[in-house]
Amino acid sequence: MADVFIIGSYCTRFQNWPDKSFKDLTREAYMGLEGAAACVTILEKDA
């Protein structure tokens, strides 16, 4: 099995979010990161 590394960043807008839970903010950041990932390279190690 190959190691996979996803390198990127995403940040929600810095402000007070009274209508969103921590889980909502985490989901938003994750989905933004997933959408921003333009390229994924998988390198296989020699055994």
Q: How far apart are CA 28 and CA 10, in angstroms?
A: 9
What does the pLDDT average to over 23-44? 72
> Rounded to the nearest 5 degrees, what angle is found at the Cα of 13, between the Cα atoms of 41 and 19?
115
In this prediction, residue 43 carries a pLDDT of 52
Q: How many domains does the chain have?
A: 1
What is the per-residue pLDDT across 3-28, written as a single tens digit (0 to 9) for each? 766 667 777 788 898 999 999 988 88
Domain span at residue 22 reads 1-47
Q: How far apart are CA 46 and CA 38, in angstroms?
A: 26
In this prediction, residue 20 carries a pLDDT of 92
